Amino acid sequence: MPGTVILAKSAGFCYGVRRAVDLARKTAVESGGCWMLGDLIHNANVVRELEELGVRKTTEPETLGEGDTVVIRSHGELKRVLDGLEARGAACVNATCPNVCRIQKLVAQSEQEGRRAVIIGEPHHPEVMGLASWCAQPLVFSGPEDVRAWLAEAESNRDIPLTVVAQTTCIRELFETSWEIIKKECTNVKIFDTICDATHKRQSEAAEIAGKVDVMVVVGDRKSANTKHLTEICMRSCPRVFQIEDARELSPDFFNGCHVAGLTAGASTPAGIIKEVYATMSEEIKAAEGKEESFEELLNQSFKTLNTGDRVTGIVTAITPTEVQVDVGAKQAAYIKLSELTDDPSAKPEDIVHVNDEIETVVVRVNDVEGYAELSRKRLESIKVWENIEQAVEDKTVMEGVVIAENKGGIVVSVKGIQVFVPASQSGQPRGADLSSMIKQKVQLRVTEVNRNRRRVVGSIRSVTEEARKAAQEQIWSSIEVGKHYTGTVKSMTSYGVFVDIGGVDGMVHISELSWSRIKTPSEVCKVGDTLEVYVIAFDPEKHKISLGVKDRSIDPWEVFMNKYSVGDVASVRIVKLMSFGAFAEVVPGVDGLIHISQIADRRIDKPEDVLSEGQIVDVKITAIDEEKKKISLSIRALLAPAAEEDSEEE
C-alpha cells in the first residue's frame, strides 16, 4: 500500500532488557540510589533516564563495597567482578538476562566436565567477555573463518571435547555454519543453540519486511550488537537501509521516491522512541506523496489482525488460577485457558509461566464482538512436532525415539510424542526375530512417510543402521594396517575359530590365535557377545577378509618357562594330547613337554590312556631341557620312584 510504514511486530525491548530496566528503576526508588557498572543496556536515552532516577554509573567496580547497591547489566558481568563485589560486601541486584545466565551455567559446566567452551560471537562484546570469564580456557570465534583457522593450527584440536554456545544476539547463519564445521571435524562435541528466540524472530521479521519495502529504518544504539546485526540483515534485502538512534536523525532525503518503508528496532530501544520515529517517518512519506493520513490511523494499521490458526507471540501480563492473560499487540484481549497451557491437570499456571515471560501460542478462537481471543500453547507445540516430523522426511533427518509396542507387522516408536510405525523389514532385526525384545529400547530412525490428516507416520531403523555400518566399514578399511589393535565383539563361532566385529567389519580369529594354551574349541575361551581385544595379522581389501589375533605376541612363552623352571623342578601340568609313545603336557601356556610312556608309571603299561586322560592335571618332574630345540622331558615316575624303593626295602 503506497505511503505505508510497516512496523515490525517484535521491534523494541525484549524481555531481558525490559526486566533489567524495570529492576534498575525499582532498585533506585527502594534504595534511594544505586550503581550500574557501565551502561545497563545499550541505549544512551535510557541510561540518561536511569541516571536522573539515581542510578549512578561507574567503570571502577573495585571502588564499591559494603553499603553500595549494584545493578548488574543485562549483558552480564565478568565473574571476577561479581566475586569481588560479593567479597567486599556490596549488595548485587542481578538484572542479567535469564538467557545469558543460562549460557554462563553451560560454560561453567563445560569446564567441570573437562570440556573446552566454544563461544560463537563478537569477541569484544560485553556479553561474550562475561561468558568467557566463567571458565579457564574459552575459545571465542567470530564466525566460521575463525573456526577453520583454529582447526588448522593442530590436528590434536579435533580430539578436544568441546561445548559450543552462541552469543544471544548472534546471527543464526554465522552460528549454524560454525557449529556444522565443528561437528563435522571434531570427535566429541556438545552443541547448545543459545541464540535468543526473540532475537531470531526479530531478525527473521526484519529480513522479511526489508524484502518488501523501498526504505528500511533500523532504530537502536550504535553500540548495540543486535541493532548492528539487524542492519546487516536488512541490507541483504533492501537497497536503502538507515540505522539511527532516534527521530532527530531522520532526513526527508531518506524517503525520496519511497512508497513503502519498513521500521524495526533493536532490543534496547524504548517504545517511546519507536513511536516517535514511526510518526516522523509517516509524516515524511505523507509530505512526499501529499498524503494526510494521521499518525493514529497508521498506528492502528500496525496492530495485528488475529485469525484462528495464526501463530502469535506475546508477553504474559497476568496469571489467575484458571488462565493466563497475554499481550499479543492486538486490539483484542488474549488469554490461555489452563487446559490449553498444559496436559497436567494438577499443574498451577504460575509454576509454568511468569509475568513478563515471552510465550508463543496459536489462536484457537477470535470473538471480535466481545473483543477477546483464545490462545493455546499446547496445540502449538503439537503443530510444531508435526511440522518437525514432516520436515524430517524432506531433510532425511535422523530422529531418536523409544520403542513402546510391538504390533502386527512391526513395532511402534514414540518420537517426540508422535507414534511412528516401523515395519519388521525396517526394524534392523533378522527375519523372524522377536521384536518384543526391542520394547523400551532407544532407537534412531528416519521418517519415510507422513500423513498428518490420518495421523500416520512410517519410519525405518534399518536405513540408519545400514548407513552407520557402511560409514564404519569405510572408516575401518581406510585406516586398517597390520598390527593395529581394535576392541571387538564376538559375532559367531565355528570349530576352527571365531568371527569378531571390529566396528562394522568382521574379522576371523583362528583357533590357534585365540590362546597360547592348546584348546579344542573356541568355546573354551570365549562365547558370542564377548568383548575381545584383537590385532590385525593380515588383510585383503579386495576380498574383504581380515585375519585377527588375540594372543599377546609381546610375550615369549619359552622365555616365561625358562624364567620359571629348571631341570629337577616339580611342576603341575595339564595333559593335552595322548600318543602311542607317551603324553604331551602343557607346562606353561604355549609350551608343552613330553612324558615318555616309560615315565608315566612305576610299572610297565601298554598305552598312556591306561593311566592318563586329556585335561587331567598331574605333578611331574622336569628331567631334561633342550634349549636349542626347545624341547622338555617330563617324568611322573621320577616322583614315584623313591616311594617304590622304600616299599622294596621293607619287604
pLDDT, tens only, 46-84 = 888 888 889 999 989 999 999 899 999 888 999 999 999
- Long-range (24+ apart) CB contacts under 8 A made by 220-223 are 220/42, 220/43, 220/245, 220/265, 220/266, 220/267, 220/268, 220/269, 221/42, 221/43, 221/44, 221/245, 221/266, 221/268, 221/269, 223/39, 223/42
- Phi then psi for residue 175, to 5 deg, are -65, -50
Looking at domain 99-195, which of 3.40.50.720, 3.40.1010.20, 3.40.1260.10, 3.30.530.20 is its CATH number?
Answer: 3.40.1010.20
pLDDT the model gives residue 582:
93
Looking at domain 557-650, which of 2.40.240.10, 3.30.1490.270, 3.30.460.20, 2.40.50.140 is its CATH number?
Answer: 2.40.50.140
Q: Cα(86)–Cα(69) distance, rounded to whole angstroms?
A: 11
311-381 folds as OB fold (Dihydrolipoamide Acetyltransferase, E2P) (2.40.50)
Give the homologous superfamily in CATH for domain 396-466.
Nucleic acid-binding proteins (2.40.50.140)
- Is it true that 311-381 and 396-466 share their CATH fold? yes
pLDDT the model gives residue 147:
94
**Percent with pLDDT over 90 in the chain:** 34
CA dihedral 450, 453, 455, 460 (to 10 degrees): -10
Enter the DSSP assignment of 235.
Answer: H
- Per-residue pLDDT for 231 more than 70? yes
Looking at domain 198-301, which of 3.40.50.1580, 3.10.20.740, 3.40.1010.20, 3.50.50.60 is its CATH number?
Answer: 3.40.1010.20
| Backbone angle region of 107, left / alpha / beta, with phi > 0 → left and psi within -120 to 50 → alpha | alpha
- Per-residue pLDDT for 109 more than 50? yes
Residues 429-475 pLDDT 10s? 888 888 888 999 999 999 998 888 788 889 999 988 888 888 888 88
Which residue from 116, 170, 182 is spatially nearest to 144, judged by alpha carbons?
182
The letter for the amino acid at 100 is V
- Per-residue pLDDT for 552 more than 90? no
Annotated catalytic residue within 127, 245, 323, 358? 127
Mean pLDDT of 104-121: 94
Q: Cα(404)–Cα(386) distance, rounded to whole angstroms?
A: 19
Q: Which architecture characterizes domain 480-549 according to CATH?
A: Beta Barrel (2.40)
pLDDT the model gives residue 641:
57
Per-domain boundaries in the chain: 15-98, 99-195, 198-301, 311-381, 396-466, 480-549, 557-650
Q: Cα(552)–Cα(383) distance, rounded to whole angstroms?
A: 59
- Per-residue pLDDT for 217 more than 90? yes
- Per-residue pLDDT for 345 more than 80? no
User: Which CATH number applies to 15-98?
Assistant: 3.40.50.11270
- Per-residue pLDDT for 351 more than 90? no
Enter the DSSP assignment of 645.
Answer: H
127 in catalytic set? yes
